[in-house]
Amino acid sequence: MKIFKFIPFIILLLIHTEALAQTSSGKIKFKQTNYIDTEKMPANVAANVPKYVESFMILAFNKNESIYQIDPDKKVEENPNDNTPRMFKRMMDRANTVYYKDLTTKLLLEQSKFFGKEFLISDSISRYKWKVSAGEQKNILGYTCMKAMYKDSTTNWVVFFTPQIPISFGPEKYGNLPGLILEVQSAQIHIIATEVLKEDVTIIVPSKGDKKTRKEFDKLREEKMKEQREMWGNQRPGSERMIRN
């Protein structure tokens, strides 16, 4: 009886076989909303930190590579009344992170700024064990998308991917599904596609930044965050230390 659960998925793939063969490169524009957890912050700091940050991103992809970064065509005006402490602007500036993936080598590169210094973090592409809900579908920008979920002790993600674009990519670190991810939902982030552009693309591999492995960077980040938490009680909000070479 289990085979019946996969019938909608199989039918969808068969219906779009011709379209699948034609969509092998292009660009997807996204709106990304990052939610800021202020519960563990000192009250005087949390009062000046926004609940969320919006940014406009773009994913360029071909059969083997993808890169996800800020959309250069979208200009976000700064709010002159924004009182967010400078140190938190740097810490939560997740939108400036560039994600590069290579399916051939299973390489994931993350180019990111942390406390004023740029890093280039190397990792392997994670093979998340998604649970596909074949009966739950939605339309995003004219593409039929299927629901997939991933959950463990610390993570609970819901994504919608389309087999009409048969590339195992998605925004940020998300991927490893039989179609491109057009929406991501979680308690920390919401990403939704706003435009699909079918065109040839040139992908440049990120190369700037202090090179670290994921393990090395995570250790450094934990040390600096611990240091920052200890400083909260001794410094006024907005002061910060920079990472020096």
| pLDDT at residue 204, rounded to an integer | 96
Most confident of 39-53, 69-83, 96-110: 96-110
pLDDT at residue 2 greater than cutoff 80: no
SS3 category, 99: strand
Give the integer Cα–Cα distance in Å for 59 and 167.
12
N-to-C CA span, the chain: 61
Dihedral pair phi/psi, residue 49, rounded to 5°: -105, 130
User: Which residues neighbour 229 within 8 Å (Cβ) at sequence distance 6 or greater?
Assistant: none
H/E stretch holding 109 reads strand 107-114
Sign of the alpha-carbon dihedral angle for 202, 208, 209, 215: positive
Confidence of residue 20 (pLDDT cuts 50, 70, 90): very low
Which has the minimum average pLDDT: 68-82, 148-162, 176-190, 193-207?
A: 68-82
Task: Give pLDDT tens digits for 115-169.
Answer: 888 999 999 999 899 999 978 999 999 999 999 999 998 899 999 999 999 999 9
CA 104 to chain centre: 20
pLDDT at residue 91 greater than cutoff 80: no
Domains in the chain and their CATH numbers?
2-231 (2.50.20)
Give the integer Cα–Cα distance in Å for 173 and 33.
15
H/E stretch holding 140 reads strand 131-140
Give the integer Cα–Cα distance in Å for 198 and 178.
18
Confidence of residue 15 (pLDDT cuts 50, 70, 90): very low
The reported pTM is 0.80
| pLDDT at residue 86, rounded to an integer | 56
Confidence of residue 82 (pLDDT cuts 50, 70, 90): low
In sequence order, the β-bridge partners of residue 161 are: 146, 181
SS3 category, 33: strand
Give the integer Cα–Cα distance in Å for 218 and 179.
30
Using the 8-state DSSP alphabet, how is residue 105 labeled? T
| pLDDT at residue 78, rounded to an integer | 59
Confidence of residue 232 (pLDDT cuts 50, 70, 90): low
| pLDDT at residue 50, rounded to an integer | 76
| pLDDT at residue 239, rounded to an integer | 45
Mean pLDDT over the full length of the chain: 82
| pLDDT at residue 40, rounded to an integer | 67
